[in-house]
Amino acid sequence: MPATPPPVSFDPARGLAVLRTPGSVYALRVDADGSPRHLYWGAVLDPDDLAALPAAVSPAASSFESEAAADELAPQTGARFGPAGLQVRFADGTRGAQWTLTGHTVEGNELRLHLADRRYPLAADLCYRVRPGSDVIERWVELSHTGPDGANDSDVSGPIVVDRLDSASWTAPALPDYRLSHLVGGWNSEFRLHRDRLPVAETVLTSRRGLTSHHANPWLALDDGTATEEHGEVWSTALAWSGSWRITVHRDPTGRTTWTGGFGHEGLSWTLQPGESLQTPAFAGLYTAHGFGAASRAWHDHVRRHVLPEPERDRPVVYNSWEATGFAVDHDGQLGLARLAARLGAELFVLDDGWFGARTSDRAGLGDWTPRPAAFPDGLRPLADEVHRLGMSFGLWVEPEMVNADSDLHRAHPDWVVHTPTRDATELRNQLMLNFGRPEVEAWAHRTLDQVVREHDVDWLKWDANRVVTEAGWPGHPDPDRLWIDHVRAVHRIMDRLRADHPGLRIEACAGGGGRVDLAVLARTDQAWTSDNTDPVDRLGIQHGFSQLYPAQTMAAWVTDSPNAATGRSTPLRFRFHVAMAGALGLGGDLTRWTAEELDEAAALVARYKEIRPLVQRGRQHRLSAPGGVTAVHYAAEDGTEHAVLVCRPATRFGHRAPALPLPALDPAAHYLDLDEGATYSGALLARQGIDPRLPAGDYASSLIRLRRVD
Ligand code: GLA
């Protein structure tokens, strides 16, 4: 039997690096000029085929074309004219890098190629990691100023300015056409999936806001234009970064498509002094042979197994008071809501904005994280204790990166905010942003949050961020653009420390809804507040986009009041529930205004959700249809026994009966019991012909179908 090839290998004689995952192979070659260049990314190839692979070259050889294959990280040197993922300037004004491979390391599933510039004190490690059982490949770069001793020539030391350091450049194979799938939106309309033909041009996906952003998410997928949920090859990537970012997709006229991406937006620079280094976040890539559905399931699996801190813990049914009470919070009102929430089966009560400082509106108090005496005369502990007695965990909203000008914190430390003294400060939602890049501000934030958690017996923090970066100055700092990186790293660090110091503490990521959802924030949080828009019809589109990359257990989804606060649309309670049950279910309405019948119906639906929770939160998700007509999502237990299908049809049309829903994930050789109707069906019938979606008549119709494999 031939030996199984290792997951990661490097052959120095041929300069050939190969990464193998269960369903894909990735290969690159270090060329004679020292540059690592892309060779292959796609379905599994055997080692002989790989050795025979020619390097891709541009078809038209002339003095105006580069003949070489795409770089793994393109420097600004030589005949390279595409977007450069590495842009550096040395003290003498020279740009770019000319590499020599100085060595490599293979440790477990990780490969590092050690590169050094031939003349300047610059070194780069290109890093690659695969994980057992996963087709996701993670890539990042560590760039170092190797100091005066690292220079081969003593006249070329001095600081190195880094204008761009991407995590990786990815290359798709030659395809007859290219289509780009990506997520765009805005506040209240995050994660809208767009699927467009890729133009022969450079297409930039970016956030310049200092947050991941509502407007674009750092995920994309490429296919040849024919892939579907079930079929076709898909190449997709996701950047693990929670600040500004930029991904440039370059389709050239000869048909080559590459994309380079990393942290920071254009125009920022960082200076490396001798001995300093800069490490990028990971940019993960995934090849899938079986359509967008399989790609999403592979990402979900990756997020669960390698990103989330506690994937096996049930996400609790939360009650959050924001839509019910806004800033008008006080002990008695919150306790009343908590009692009702407990009656409905909520497992966590979150007191949202308005509990602290002089926070009676969004004009004052941010930064002063002590309970507002008029609202909580004895502090928060009595409420926390009552909530615990009711059998729920206690959660608190915080927005630690932000400050109102009208706050004691800002009066004491006006210099702590991100600002440019010679420019007018832009207030967004009447607030300014603290510069967490400053060590004393990071220390204050950590200390304050630690105290908040300890003093009020907090089990859960909803960490919000309701503005983005403007006037991005750091007066007095020699390298002020570091703010864009250092702030984000400090946020991550504080979350990590809080979790480490308070085992059991859970954190929900929020930034005015889904403004900061990415693989880096999910590495230290349990779920994300998907959108401030809780209208169930709008949510169907938001959830569809969210699910392309992120698993349902991270998608917080509340049932709120009707008519909806954001859209004014009225929908039945059952429809609102069925939409929200597709994620981490929560409740967010003013329960004091719900009728006894509504409260009973809600309690029954919460109980039903708890039954299907293991499937939704830890099963495999199959999107049966995209929003538009009937939207349906199927959750299957990993072992294939239990199944739940949530079906929603916002608008009915005369004569258009909802068609049977095929469930292609079922085993055609098995039989399935319908747990509600008692009938048994063959898997072949359900997979091919489908199941009746059982939608009631009228608009906002929905159903939940539960199946169990019986043989
Ligand atoms: C943001 C959040 C909301 C709520 C408010 C409070 O908009 O997304 O859920 O917490 O802030 O001000």
Question: Ligand 1 test: best mutation among 507, 531, 532, 560, most atoms within 8 Å of CB?
Answer: 532
In this structure, what token pair is assigned to residue 692?
């009746």
* Shortest-distance atom of ligand 1 to CA 529: 8
CA 119 to each of CA 73, 97, 141, 352, 669: distance values in angstroms, whole numbers, following the listed order: 19, 9, 20, 57, 65
CB of 397 sitting under 6 A from ligand 1: yes
| Cβ partners under 8 Å of residue 162, min gap 6 | 87, 88, 143, 269, 270, 271, 272, 278
Closest CA to 622 of 637, 641, 602, 606: 637
In this structure, what token pair is assigned to residue 518?
């990415």
**Given its phi and psi angles, is residue 357 left (phi above 0), alpha (psi -120 to 50 degrees) or beta?**
left
Question: Ligand 1 test: best mutation among 352, 355, 363, 534, most atoms within 8 Å of CB?
Answer: 352
**Smallest CA separation from ligand 1 atom 4, residue:** 322
C-alpha 353 to ligand 1 mean position (Å): 7
C-alpha 531 to ligand 1 mean position (Å): 9
C-alpha 571 to ligand 1 mean position (Å): 23
| Cβ partners under 8 Å of residue 55, min gap 6 | 29, 31, 37, 39, 68, 69
Task: Name the CATH topology of 318-617.
Answer: TIM Barrel (3.20.20)
CA 329 to each of CA 324, 383, 529, 596: distance values in angstroms, whole numbers, following the listed order: 9, 12, 21, 24
How does DSSP classify residue 305? Answer: I
CA 704 to each of CA 47, 444, 501, 629: distance values in angstroms, whole numbers, following the listed order: 48, 48, 41, 17
CATH 3.40.50.300, applies to 622-709: no
* Shortest-distance atom of ligand 1 to CA 352: 10
CB of 464 sitting under 6 A from ligand 1: yes
CB of 352 sitting under 6 A from ligand 1: yes
In this structure, what token pair is assigned to residue 623?
């999107």
Cα–Cα dist 645/639, whole Å: 16
C-alpha 475 to ligand 1 mean position (Å): 30
Residue 144: CB atoms within 10 Å: 20
CB 466 within 8 A of CB 404: no
* Shortest-distance atom of ligand 1 to CA 362: 12
Residue where the block lists tokens 């924030």: 521
What is the maximum span of the chain, computed from C-alpha positions, in angstroms?
83
| Cβ partners under 8 Å of residue 456, min gap 6 | 371, 379, 380, 381, 384, 394, 396
| Cβ partners under 8 Å of residue 558, min gap 6 | 318, 320, 323, 534, 580, 585, 586, 587, 588, 589
Antiparallel, parallel or unpaired: β 555-559 and 584-587: parallel
* Shortest-distance atom of ligand 1 to CA 511: 8
CB of 235 sitting under 6 A from ligand 1: no
Residue pLDDT, tens place only, 650-705: 999 988 888 999 999 999 999 999 999 999 999 999 999 999 999 999 999 999 99
Report domain 72-306's class. mainly beta
* Shortest-distance atom of ligand 1 to CA 532: 8
C-alpha 510 to ligand 1 mean position (Å): 8
C-alpha 397 to ligand 1 mean position (Å): 8
CB 73 within 8 A of CB 126: yes
In this structure, what token pair is assigned to residue 604?
């029954």
CB of 508 sitting under 6 A from ligand 1: no
pLDDT of residue 707: 98
Residue pLDDT, tens place only, 602-655: 999 999 999 999 999 999 999 999 999 999 999 999 999 999 999 999 999 988
**Smallest CA separation from ligand 1 atom 7, residue:** 512
C-alpha 14 to ligand 1 mean position (Å): 55
The residues spanned by each domain of the chain are 72-306, 318-617, 622-709
How does DSSP classify residue 692? Answer: -
Question: Ligand 1 test: best mutation among 211, 214, 466, most atoms within 8 Å of CB?
Answer: 466
| Cβ partners under 8 Å of residue 492, min gap 6 | 242, 520, 521, 523, 524
Cα–Cα dist 365/405, whole Å: 8
Q: Which parts of the chain register pLDDT below 50?
A: none
The helix or strand, by DSSP H or E, that contains position 441, with its residue range, turns out to be helix 439-455
CA 641 to each of CA 365, 614, 644, 678: distance values in angstroms, whole numbers, following the listed order: 52, 12, 10, 16
The helix or strand, by DSSP H or E, that contains position 585, with its residue range, turns out to be strand 584-587
Residue 628: CB atoms within 10 Å: 11
**Given its phi and psi angles, is residue 18 left (phi above 0), alpha (psi -120 to 50 degrees) or beta?**
beta
Residue type, 353: D
C-alpha 648 to ligand 1 mean position (Å): 27
The helix or strand, by DSSP H or E, that contains position 609, with its residue range, turns out to be helix 596-618
Antiparallel, parallel or unpaired: β 86-89 and 99-107: unpaired
Residue pLDDT, tens place only, 127-143: 999 999 999 999 999 99
C-alpha 497, offset from chain centre = 21
CB of 466 sitting under 6 A from ligand 1: yes
* Shortest-distance atom of ligand 1 to CA 510: 8
CB of 394 sitting under 6 A from ligand 1: no
What residues form DSSP beta bridges with 196? 180
pLDDT of residue 5: 86
CB of 588 sitting under 6 A from ligand 1: no
CB of 512 sitting under 6 A from ligand 1: yes
Cα–Cα dist 25/674, whole Å: 41
CB of 353 sitting under 6 A from ligand 1: yes
Residues classed as catalytic:
464, 532
**Smallest CA separation from ligand 1 atom 1, residue:** 512
CB of 236 sitting under 6 A from ligand 1: no
C-alpha 706 to ligand 1 mean position (Å): 34
Cα–Cα dist 94/77, whole Å: 10
How does DSSP classify residue 511? Answer: B
pLDDT of residue 56: 60
Cα–Cα dist 411/404, whole Å: 10
**Smallest CA separation from ligand 1 atom 2, residue:** 512
CB of 513 sitting under 6 A from ligand 1: yes
Residue type, 409: L
pTM of the model: 0.97
Closest CA to 274 of 184, 406, 154, 436: 154
**Smallest CA separation from ligand 1 atom 12, residue:** 353
Average pLDDT, the chain: 96
CB 466 within 8 A of CB 512: yes
Cα–Cα dist 458/384, whole Å: 8
CB of 510 sitting under 6 A from ligand 1: yes
pLDDT of residue 2: 60
C-alpha 142 to ligand 1 mean position (Å): 37
CA 26 to each of CA 7, 8, 12, 48, 133: distance values in angstroms, whole numbers, following the listed order: 10, 10, 17, 14, 15
In this structure, what token pair is assigned to residue 254?
């000869």
How does DSSP classify residue 580? Answer: H
* Shortest-distance atom of ligand 1 to CA 397: 10
Residue where the block lists tokens 């040197």: 77
Residue 378: CB atoms within 10 Å: 10
C-alpha 591 to ligand 1 mean position (Å): 19
**Counts of helices then strands in the chain (DSSP H, E):** 13, 37
